[in-house]
């Protein structure tokens, strides 16, 4: 890129230039490949005992599309054969035609929408994964991330296993296949006992629909019923779209077994592992779950509003208008406005018709940056002191562009308020986060971040404020109630693969020194 073609992303005021670039490439700064948001994990859905199982699964995946837009897949079983359809792209692009649904015959099906947190975006990594095992077929779909998948994979490969994908989910399939236990459920539980990390699983056998949730409850999973058919899903919104009834959350560490035999369906439960202190992922409430979902008995929308209210109490500022960064910042901004008494306005309008893979054919188009997705509502912004509310800041690059847009639209002052604490640590449980050296809050103090983004003031909700919004009085330092490692560095499970990688690097360095 020539000097003449480089885009100045800092606000026009001379004392509001970014303090640094965190070694980001020009493409990253321009937003060509990066949205500067935490990437969604995955979504799972399963149903047993309905003639429209595949069609209902496709609808459920539509409701979970926000959890992954890279790929989608469905596996169905008709009593004799398993049928699989896996595609790159959105659910509606591939599973809306009768021709595709007709190929997915049977009264039981599971489905998956994917954003890759491990493994490449290629068709062989698209879930559900399926294998013919001793005793019948087995399909599995996984939301989350295993922190010992690489370690287990290396052991399995040394023992002769042949992997067809680079997804950590196949590790589960291989463990089930290699278990010496006599029955499929025993083999499945045997596999679960060997994995570490976060998971919400749905699996399909010749007779069973199975759901499982990690012992800490990091990833969500709910149980419902539709016209007598048991349904499993990542979020309650998947029940809403098909008219299913919410029954309950799947407990952390629980395995739910739905069996069809002799024309009857029974739902059983087992808790094969010792109970642990439950720690659901706080980002389900901050960002990932749809606002109309209920997670852990809490309305996601109401939690996000309370985050905004706490933020207003902790970091009040004199301003004329509260403006959300759409769409994820809207509920928190509503809460901030209600608590502060400052009017709420839509000062940024989002273009909902620009996809993640928007073609940007020229450098000039790339220079437009964030305006492809967002545009300032000048009538609201011009001449105003604004409070700009967002749900999180990751690299800070999008924040820079949004703030620049506000100043260009005539804002007198821009005060940024973030409805989560500073993200200082990467995630290893199914959220695609940058390495630590690419996280803004890991590189700068609050004043440094303010200068980097280019705002008049910057404030994040405190960790205790976050917990208050979640209904707790404070964070229990001995036994934290939530998985919050991105803010605290307190990882709830051993990071076996990461520790092993660090040990390997240390040994290599010692060998070089020697």
Q: List the catalytic residues.
A: 42
Residue ranges of the alpha helices (H) in 66-167? 91-94, 98-103, 149-158
Q: Are strands 294-295 and 264-270 parallel, antiparallel or unpaired?
A: unpaired
Tell which phi-psi region holds residue 454, choosing left (phi > 0), alpha (psi between -120 and 50) or beta: left
Computed from CA positions of residues 476, 482, 486, 490, in that sequence, does the dihedral angle turn out positive or negative? positive
Tell which phi-psi region holds residue 86, choosing left (phi > 0), alpha (psi between -120 and 50) or beta: beta
Residue 359, token pair as written in the block: 């073609």
Report DSSP letters for 141-178, one per residue. Answer: EEEEEETTHHHHHHHHHHTT---S-S-THHHHHHHHHH
Residue 10, token pair as written in the block: 């800092």
Q: What is the DSSP letter of 117?
A: S
> Starting at the edge strand that comes first in sequence, how are the strands of the sheet with 229-233 ordered?
82-88, 71-77, 108-114, 42-48, 229-233, 222-226, 245-249
Only one residue has tokens 């509260």, namely 322
Buried b / exposed e over 414-453, threshold 16 CB at 10 Å, is: bbbbbbbbbbbbbbbbbbbbbeeebbbbbbbeeebbbbbb
Buried b / exposed e over 335-347, threshold 16 CB at 10 Å, is: bbbebbebebbeb
Q: From CA 7, how far away is CA 278, in angstroms rounded? A: 47
Would you tell me how many other CB atoms lie within 10 Å of the CB of residue 24? Answer: 17
């Amino acid at each position: 890129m020539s000097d003449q073609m480089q885009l100045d992303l800092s606000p026009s005021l001379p004392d509001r230039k970014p303090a640094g670039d965190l070694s980001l490439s020009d493409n990253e700064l321009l937003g060509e490949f990066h949205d500067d948001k935490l990437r969604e994990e995955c979504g799972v859905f399963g149903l047993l005992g309905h003639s429209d199982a595949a069609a209902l699964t496709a609808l459920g995946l539509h409701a979970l599309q926000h959890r992954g837009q890279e790929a989608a897949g469905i596996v169905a079983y008709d009593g004799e054969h398993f049928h699989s359809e896996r595609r790159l792209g959105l659910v509606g692009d591939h599973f809306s035609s009768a021709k595709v649904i007709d190929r997915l015959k049977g009264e039981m099906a599971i489905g998956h929408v994917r954003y890759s947190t491990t493994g490449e975006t290629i068709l062989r990594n698209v879930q559900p994964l399926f294998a013919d095992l001793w005793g019948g077929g087995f399909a599995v779909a996984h939301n989350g991330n295993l922190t010992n998948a690489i370690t287990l994979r290396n052991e399995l490969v040394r023992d002769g296993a042949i992997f067809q994908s680079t997804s950590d989910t196949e590790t589960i399939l291989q463990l089930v296949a290699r278990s010496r236990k006599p029955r499929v459920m025993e083999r499945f539980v045997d596999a679960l006992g060997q994995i570490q990390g976060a998971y919400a699983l749905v699996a399909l056998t010749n007779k069973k629909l199975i759901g499982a949730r990690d012992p800490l409850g990091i990833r969500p999973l709910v149980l419902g019923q539709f016209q007598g058919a048991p349904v499993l899903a990542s979020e309650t919104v998947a029940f809403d779209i098909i008219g299913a009834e919410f029954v309950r959350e799947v407990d952390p560490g629980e395995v739910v077994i739905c069996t069809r035999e002799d024309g009857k369906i029974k739902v059983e439960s087992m808790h094969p592992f010792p109970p642990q202190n439950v720690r659901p992922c706080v980002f389900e409430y901050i960002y990932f779950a749809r606002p109309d979902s209920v997670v852990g008995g809490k309305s996601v929308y109401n939690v996000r509003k309370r985050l905004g209210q706490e933020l207003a109490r902790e970091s009040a500022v004199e301003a004329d208008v509260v403006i959300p960064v759409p769409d994820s910042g809207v509920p928190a901004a509503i809460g901030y406005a209600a608590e502060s008494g400052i009017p709420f306005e839509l000062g940024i309008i989002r273009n909902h018709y620009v996809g993640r893979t928007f073609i940007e054919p020229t450098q000039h188009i790339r220079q437009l940056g964030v305006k492809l997705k967002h545009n300032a509502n000048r009538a609201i912004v011009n001449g105003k002191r604004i409070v700009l509310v967002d749900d999180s800041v990751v690299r800070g690059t999008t924040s820079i562009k949004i703030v620049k847009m506000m100043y260009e639209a005539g804002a007198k002052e821009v005060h940024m308020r973030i409805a989560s604490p500073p993200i200082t640590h990467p995630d290893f449980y199914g959220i695609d986060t940058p390495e630590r050296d690419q996280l803004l809050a890991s590189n700068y103090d609050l004043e440094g971040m303010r200068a980097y983004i280019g705002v008049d003031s910057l404030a994040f909700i405190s960790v205790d404020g976050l917990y208050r919004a979640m209904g707790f009085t404070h964070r229990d330092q001995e036994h934290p109630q939530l998985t919050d490692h991105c803010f605290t560095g307190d990882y709830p499970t051993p990071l076996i693969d990461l520790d092993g990688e660090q040990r390997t690097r240390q040994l290599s360095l010692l060998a070089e020194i020697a």
